[in-house]
Chains A and B, each alone.
Chain A
Amino acid sequence: MLGGLAAWVLTSPGWPVVRETFFSWTVFKDSFPEVLDGFWLDVKLFIVVEAVVLVVGLVIALVRTSRAPALFPLRMLATVWVDLFRGFPTIILVVLVGFGVPALRLEGLPTDPLVLGGIALGLSYSAYVAEVYRAGIASVHRGQRDAALAVGLSDRQALRHVILPQAVRRVAPPLLNDFVALQKDVALVSILGPLEAFRNAQIIQGETFNFTPLIAAALLYLAVTVPLARVVDRIGGGPEGAVR
């Protein structure tokens, strides 16, 4: 069935044009180094933003799950943060921060589009990741906290040694899922101008009227997201104790 479909496509009269436009080996060869070059920028940005998001998301989740009356204003702030930044389309955040902040012409604010784009992605993804953490914390039975307190741990120690280790282990698959999404959304920063993979591919495509460079960029994303997805599978399929 699939083979038949492939044969039908490959023998159709339009195929040579399709092949030339999307899968041109010469264009691929010529554009690949430049696209790859840009892709390293994506990877670097991804790693930095992800690291920040993992920390900020955890802080927001901890504030949201706290019970101390004194933390009420912070809890409100965290709730608003999540509602806003998870509610906005990421692309709007990127444009707002990336073009909006420099338009303020204020001293001391970053103007590097890469930094601004990273901040926008961080705002958006920290809201998602905070909710993932929060679900994990809520999923740990309250008897665990009781037991931790009963052996003499403080609230903070109970969180650190008993609740968080179990919570994080449980949400590892959805956290990795958000990794994959962020890895792709890094391409949104191209709107602001940095010469990352998608941007480079688009420039070459504009010059050559050939879409192969975009295929090259897409393949590079796949090269990262597919292995990540396999890691998600492995963790999601194992017993709770398997992830250490």
Chain B
Amino acid sequence: MFETFAALAQGMATSFKHLFMKPVTIQYPEEKRQVHERFKGRHVLNRYDNGLEKCIGCALCAAACPADAIFVEAAENSDDERYSPGERFASTYEINLLRCIFCGYCEDACPTEAITLEHNYELSFYDREGAIYTKDMLIVDVPVNGRSTPQPVEPGAFNRAIPEMEDPK
């Protein structure tokens, strides 16, 4: 008899305690949830400080992608119209976010840290085509002191596709 009441009281106590706890629900979309630093949200294509794109169009992300969600087409840079350091840049870059499973393999495969999975989780589309994110949608804004691409650069200054080959710190 006593044991029954004890269990009941214990259960009620838990409920009662929760009355005074901070609520888990938030007022989305006015309020947005803070995600963890290593949360894997929508991809972005990064730029160097001078505005050049980090992506060199190597398509290793597409090769690594288990869902075949990424499509890359490359073309050749010139010093008059430079998109990225080195010879190759991505002329087309598309990610089908309906296919993407946010595993982050693309990020791992990327030799220039051009593609990273960031914190944007607001992914909703009206149709299937809208789920295909193109390069313009994925690429980050031009940094404050940088220039947009393509940009004319001094000849021979950016002839390395992978500028720094340092070991990860």
Mutual binders A and B: no
Chain B interface residues toward A at CB < 8 A: none
Chain A interface residues toward B at CB < 8 A: none
